[in-house]
Amino acid sequence: MPRIALVTCAPGPGISEDRDLPVLVRALAEAGAEASAEVWDDDGVDWAGFDLVVIRSTWDYSWRAAEFTAWAERCGAVTRLANPADVVRWNTDKRYLGDLAAAGVPVVETRYLAPGDALDLPDGHEYVVKPTSGAGARFAARYTPDERATAVTHLRRLHAEGFTAMVQPYVRGIDTTGERALQYVGGSLLHASRKGPVLAPGTPYDRRKVAHPGLTGWTPSAVEADVARRALACVPGGAEPLYARVDLVDGEDGLPRVMELELVEPNLFLWLHPESVPRVVEEMLRAAAR
């Protein structure tokens, strides 16, 4: 009987409920595993006692990225961690988008402003400011050129807390074709979803956002699937990650671009795609047996 830990975080202000977690724990138990939900920063957990540790909803990690990646290194040293610690370290910093761009993957154009850099902001089009370590649109906001003073305040807050900021043009295609999330497990497409725009004009950066508004099922096009596969080919280590989510938006030319490649704690939306639960369980059991 394999022992599998599904890793989450302690409840707290601004932390969403993981609707998939109890479903997966129950489905794994029904498939013959000893499964439990564990909190990543609980010092009382013996990670070495598990055959597989799967990061699921550690949705507080982005404000404690160094602490979280150090935990991933320790955990990965004593048991099988999915996704592996080197992948976690690479993916917790959204500067990985530069690696994708260098490999020829179409991504949303991104500039990075570290603490101490000049506060150089676009002039002539809407743009988005957010931290390079973030989840659920936390500390993200959308600005027009006339809102520069507010955007500078946002940047200074990020820098004061030690974050590097990323600045992207606001991709107007989100308002019409939405953002598509292609989910993969064991290297193969599991299912896909589409959501509407998250960042409404004028919403303060420090206000909680609805991370997945208007979520519905989606059938990805061949072009979307190709862009997602090219992004996944850039994952360090050479092996297929146990799970992955590729978030795509349409550029000005109507072609898909990678907004994010989520390899740490992406919401799998199994509540929307219950038919996918057996596939996820099968791949977890296979990974635990390696």
The DSSP line for 231-282 is HHTT-TTSSPPSEEEEEEEE-TTS-EEEEEEE-SS----TTT-GGGHHHHHH
Q: What percentage of the chain carries pLDDT values higher than 90?
A: 88
Average pLDDT over residues 110-128: 95
pLDDT attached to residue 265: 96
pLDDT attached to residue 63: 84
Mean per-residue pLDDT over the chain, rounded: 95
For 135-194, the pLDDT digits (tens) are 777 889 999 999 999 999 999 999 999 999 999 999 999 999 999 999 999 999 999 999
pLDDT attached to residue 208: 86
Region of poorest pLDDT, from 94-98, 203-207, 254-258: 203-207
Distance CA 46, CA 26 (A): 21
pLDDT attached to residue 146: 95
End-to-end CA distance of the chain: 13
Q: 3-8 and 52-57 as β-strands: parallel, antiparallel, unpaired?
A: parallel
Residue 251's pLDDT band, with cuts at 50, 70 and 90, is: very high
pLDDT attached to residue 289: 96
Residue 12's pLDDT band, with cuts at 50, 70 and 90, is: confident
Average pLDDT over residues 247-271: 97
pLDDT attached to residue 287: 97
- The answer on pLDDT for 211 being more than 90 is no
Average pLDDT over residues 120-147: 91
Q: Which two tokens stand for residue 148?
A: 């520069």
More reliable by pLDDT, 265 or 14: 265
Q: Which two tokens stand for residue 249?
A: 């938006």
Region of poorest pLDDT, from 24-28, 63-67, 275-279: 63-67
Within a 10 A sphere around the Cβ of 59, how many other Cβ atoms? 21
